[in-house]
Amino acid sequence: MNVPEPGRRAHATASTGPPLVLLHGGGPGVDADSNWAAVRTRLAADFRCLAPDLLGFGTRIAGTGGLAGPRAWAAARARQIVDLLDRHGIERAHLVGNSAAGGAAALALLARAPDRIGRAVLMGGAGTGPLPAKVPFYDDPTLASMRATLGRLVADEAGHEALLGELAVIRLRQALRPGAEQAFRSMFTEVVGGPPPPDPATIVHPVLALHGERDRVSPVEVSRRLADALPDARLEVVAGAGHWIHVDRPDTFHRLVGEFLSA
């Protein structure tokens, strides 16, 4: 495992396979380690995986005070990933982008640095749906609220009680770090102007859009519209999975991602 720069945690595996950047989702208190724990070991058998904490989360909260609105955050995270690839001497990598943080960053990266990316897997609509009516968790920043927030991400909470309880403790601690709430709220702020959204018609990379059949955060139609707008994309709806496809159906997730990225 590579030693990250202070405040720039981006764990990398030692595999000699094709580089794969795992971009985590955007829930309160999230970080890369907890987001990808269910599948990272298996992916690392075939790919050289890099999993950074995205700007505004985990170790990357400091210095993000000037960002506001989802498009500005996605553009900044795209620049973050280009810098990450440069630091690791990687010319071209595949992407897996999870939901409104990682997925949106992946779309921005595909549009703004197309030569640096091979194939991309976009999960849960990649942040292309409407902004949430209410910012989760922070109006009631308690352990119970965090547990309820995480519960919506899986299809069947009863099957993940131990995991959800463990993650609630970890993510509560991280969500209450200085600056975390301000950063999180600014990600969902409506902003006039700012960087334009990526134009899907200009993204010619092969894309696999994954969406859980029982997603309670974003309807399948969001990923369907995204796949239809991209020139070279297909949608795979994962039966029995919620928003956290990789947690609800890790075997299916690993198979679909591995087959697609190795094609």
Q: How far, in Å, CA of 162 to CA of 42, rounded?
A: 21
First to last CA, the chain: 27
DSSP helix/strand/coil, 129: coil
Two tokens at 212?
């859980």
Catalytic sites, residue numbers: 99, 215, 243
Sheet of 117-123: strands edge to edge? Answer: 10-12, 48-52, 19-23, 93-98, 117-123, 207-212, 233-238
Q: What is the DSSP letter of 89?
A: T
Amino acid at 186: S
Q: How far, in Å, CA of 217 to CA of 181, rounded?
A: 20
Which one, of 100, 131, 125, lies nearest residue 212 by Cα?
125
Task: Quickly list H helices, 12-56.
Answer: 32-36, 40-43
Exposure on the CB side of residue 63, measured as CA atoms within 13 A: 10
Q: How far, in Å, CA of 99 to CA of 152, rounded?
A: 14
